[in-house]
Amino acid sequence: MARLTVKVHPRAKRSRLAGKFGDAWKLDLAAPPVDGKANEECVRFFAELAGISRARVRLVTGATLRMKVVELEGVEQSALDRLVAAQSEVTNPADANQQRQPGEK
């Protein structure tokens, strides 16, 4: 079981990981924070990212807050970390280049 802390930004153009925000990941959501739509989009996003059903993704904390802890059942923490890092690099190639250490390719 893997967990991830995210800071959500509802009403974005599209749902995507927008990089790190301190110890959390910034998650843009293309849904408004009304009637649980942003939470549903958050669950859908991580289910699709990990290739699991939405029933295996749950919000542990933060149902009414922007800072949320998302738990993915049946996914190893290391696998989730790799997926999130890869997704962030795909959506933010400039940010990925800035995060590399000198001498890395």
pLDDT at position 88, please?
83
pLDDT at position 49, please?
96
The residue written with tokens 């959501």 in the block is 29
Q: Would strands 67-72 and 57-61 be described as parallel, antiparallel, or unpaired?
A: antiparallel
CATH of 2-94, one of 1.10.3720.10, 3.30.1200.10, 3.40.5.50, 3.40.50.2000: 3.30.1200.10
Kindly report the pTM of this predicted structure.
0.83
User: Do residues 24 and 7 make contact, with C-beta atoms less than 8 angstroms apart?
Assistant: yes
Least confident of 24-28, 42-46, 87-91: 87-91
Rounded Cα gap, residues 25 and 2, in angstroms? 14
Mean pLDDT over 1-15 rounds to: 96
Where do the domains of the chain lie?
2-94
Mean pLDDT over 54-77 rounds to: 97
Greater pLDDT, 55 or 94: 55
Q: How far is CA 47 from the centre of its chain?
A: 10
